[in-house]
Structure 1
């Protein structure tokens, strides 16, 4: 191959590459510029986003964007040139170069599509905030009892004894809405986020409430800076601004917006109902989470014998050890009830346990509540520990 032919080949390559770059920039990537809403990329305060007046760009339908085939970038002249190249080594390099370039174009497109989808999600969330909607209202959460058993409760909201239809359903092993409830487990990180979000939300709302009170007094003509009411409110405001780490008292929801806690801080992994329930029944720092003492067990048995198995709120209050009614109820039925059986599991119990797990298991999720009801004299802890032991033995044998 003489030098003249090589120079001609090089000139053709340069012309094709220049033409190709113009083609890619003008045809393939112009659409990305339409989606560049950089004018909206200013930083907003998440907790005061309603105060900003920004326009929501038109929602982008990702499904109908960039359906081109990257192979279309090979123009006929380029393909003809590669096929007519006289130098086999150069032809091979050209093919490898084009393959690599097409691969990079695909990756570029994929990355841009992901960025657009990410912006789409952000736009949708801002739209929800702007219109005052609550994202978690669209999320199913653990209120299925309203659908599964909305009627036939006594005045304390306990279920009535099963009628003939209820007994028939139980005998036929008919499934109910309770069988499909899968509650998310709270991780340590989520617990820390919930505490921090409740603390922040509570202190912010307290400060806003005090500021509104001062504004109302000022608008009503109370301009005297030495007015006792204004002075007291200003002291409270300074206190919360300087010490913004207070938590709401146990048992109160005042100044806590659970919908905001759920949607803004926990990204709707848990509903407002679940956040509130978990906070009041377990996570609040004032709730006693220590191991139960023999003295507590003895007093709890006495209170249960006096008040029965229903008035757990009263029992928890009289117990006086900062236990919630849910803690008291669960501890009694799990560890203190007279019908609890102690000792080793029988072979029949092991077979039943494995059969029930095979029946109710949903992937990696085991609904232990559905399994426990089949063991009238065993606690949930006993059943779980027995299952772990059986799995260990099975793995050891295999």
Structure 2
């Protein structure tokens, strides 16, 4: 009898211990999912804005600085959109910063010559984006090199070409046609139309609310999206209007979000990153998708180049420095996994805004660039660590 009682007690202790072990990872997974959600990102952005607003006596949230912050974020975000597609397929592109440096130099040299119109410059930038995308994809998709190695080589190659062409000097003489992409503002009826379309897109998920199995998540997503539109309207209507780089980036983000969620191509992107062997067995043309993704990020980086040159009006030799790391950080902070198969456009935009808010706020506080880079590095490492935690069930350490 005593033996049976002892066995029952041991079984009870074992069950309780098992339940405790199960509860801890579940709680950790819940925290991780909140941190990687849009609500978690918005909360983090709100905290960063509040802290910098207090430390700068309100300068951080002034109309002028918010407009400047949006333009800075737009350049990082449009590159990060292309990085999302690459990372969603389980690859990476480390060459985007060096490519921007080379493209900035070529664009400035064409503009400084004064012999051609802005449309030639635009075509040259986009053609370079396609060419670099084909170059990187040839090494990865055709020759089988790991994308990390292939694009790391391109990083050094393209940065060297940029320095060789520019001679390490800043090139000026950008025409008004190119400066339009970085300096112009959307105002008047066009601005109201843009805001109205953004509001409709934010409210669009409500159309299928009754058919959705989780209406609460739909309502939360709609509320967050509409709040973002209200914030955008307030920031633009209270200053000079909507900066052109922001309008271009948001338009590209809307198109990419629709393509990723409503087209066969978008479903294949996630399938290739989620399980490449299964995707190959299903007949998905993996090589074609990899080539397309590297061309896409090349073209989007070229567009970001036009925005960057247009905003500065010149081409400094250090253009694009650490751009690839900021883009990767924006994608990972936004909820995408470096293992592939996941990622949302809205998360990328919020991730880019968070990264740029940190940089902008630290600059206003006159924090040296070295410490700004340290902060960005720590944020990137934490974002990747959270991604790793989600993959191993919330376990804090790799080994027991």
TM-score bucket of the superposed structures, by smaller chain: under 0.3
The structure in which a higher percent of residues are helix is: 2
State TM-score, norm by structure 2: 0.21
* Bigger-Rg structure (1/2): 1
